[in-house]
Amino acid sequence: MICLTLLLFTANGIVRRMTAAKDSQVYRDLLRFKPQDMTPNAWAVKAGVSRSVWADMRRHGNPSRKTLEKLLSVADSSLAEFEALRLGPVSKAAPGTGVRDARRGAWLPAALPPLPVFASTLAGEWGDRAKQIEATQINPGIAIDRVSRPPSLASDPDAYVLTVVGDSMWPRFRPGRRIVVSPRSPVAIGDDVLVRVKPSDSHVHPGDGDLVLMKELVRRSNSFIELRQFNPDVNFQVDAGEFDVVERVVGELI
């Protein structure tokens, strides 16, 4: 089952909300399953997970699938039920866009096209080498896999999935995790973004693909954008002539 919160989703598990100012969506949703006779810490202890899981979940919203399974088990629930709650009711398809189920006498939504997973590799450092700005190469023409598309991305035919290959955005994005990029979603300050840049020097090796910076958007003007990298923690600017497009990272697959 697919779920999307603030456009965050999963192909096999749960997703997390990307936010820094408030409690994460997955944290708020999970508390709805908290046993009434337990505090969150007591719930964590009975589930056999660290009590610090709540602080991490509130800030980053990135619990592991195993942690969620343990907590939900104590609450006499399951991942399937949790995902169903987060997805919410599915709207009926418009006339002519679905398939009629004769047994139920209702229209079922038409199947959505899957999201392509594009190949990604490390491409060295971009810009000022002293700042250790990690760059990634992606190959939009090479779909190495496909995953189910959540209804919330039905209106963005250009959305795609990448695998995080570096640790420059740890702990927000962990190497090996898959993120979802929505080129048609509006981008705001504080969003995680994928910036398609031009090679700045010989330290970057984009090969035949596109060179991108996966960072947090700090500031934007007509002449430049300012980005933040977490590891090492550094802010830097990219002039307008050095990048082509800024796309929003809307979620992480777990």
Q: What is the CATH number of the domain that holds 210?
A: 2.10.109.10
Tokens 């866009």 identify what position?
97
For 208-248, write each residue's pLDDT tens digit: 689 999 999 999 999 999 999 999 999 999 999 999 999 99
Residue 68 sits in the same domain as residue 153: no
140 domain residue, yes or no: yes
Asked whether residue 9 falls in the same domain as residue 56, the answer is yes
CA atoms of 239 and 226, how far apart (whole Å): 9
Tell me which of 59, 91, 123 is where a domain ends. 91
Judge contact between 8 and 16, C-beta under 8 A: yes
pLDDT at residue number 140: 86
Instruction: Looking at the structure, tell me whether residues 84 and 133 fall in a common domain.
Output: no
Tell me, yes or no, whether 24 and 146 share the same domain.
no
Each residue of 67-103: pLDDT tens digit?
Answer: 888 898 888 887 766 765 554 443 333 343 344 444 4
Q: Could you tell me if 146 and 51 lie in one domain?
A: no
Question: 3-state class of 40 per DSSP?
Answer: helix
Model confidence pTM above 0.75: no
Alpha carbons 11 and 39: distance in angstroms, whole number: 31
Measured CA distances, 218 to 80, 142, 235 (Å): 36, 31, 8
Is 107 within the bounds of a domain?
Answer: no
Flag whether 62 is in a domain.
yes
- More confident position, 38 or 253: 38
Give residues with Cβ within 8 angstroms of 83, minimum separation 6. 1, 2, 3, 10, 14
1 and 38 part of one domain: yes
> Which three-class secondary structure string do you get for 216-246?
EEEEECCCEEEEEEECCEEEEEEEHHHEEEE
Whether residues 84 and 120 fall in one domain: no
- pLDDT at position 99 is 41
CA distance 119 to 139: 5
How many residues does the structure list for the chain?
254
Contact yes or no for 212/183 (Cβ under 8 A): no
Is 106 inside any structural domain? no
Residues 123 and 47 in one domain: no
| 102 domain residue, yes or no | no
Residue 100 lies in a domain: no
57, 91, 125 - which closes a domain: 91
Q: Are 110 and 93 in contact (CB under 8 A)?
A: yes
Tell me whether residue 97 is exposed, middle or buried, using C-beta atoms within 10 angstroms of its C-beta: 0 to 12, 13 to 18, 19 or more.
exposed
Question: Is 232 found in the same domain as 122?
Answer: yes
Residues 80 and 167 in one domain: no
What pLDDT shows up at residue 29?
81
Q: Are 167 and 231 in a shared domain?
A: yes
Range of the domain at 198: 115-253
How many domains are there within the chain?
A: 2
pLDDT in tens, 123-179: 888 888 888 999 999 988 789 999 988 888 888 999 999 999 999 998 888 899 999
Do 172 and 76 have their domain in common? Answer: no
Q: What is the CATH number of the domain that holds 79?
A: 1.10.260.40
Q: Is residue 143 part of a domain?
A: yes
Residue 110 maps to a domain? no
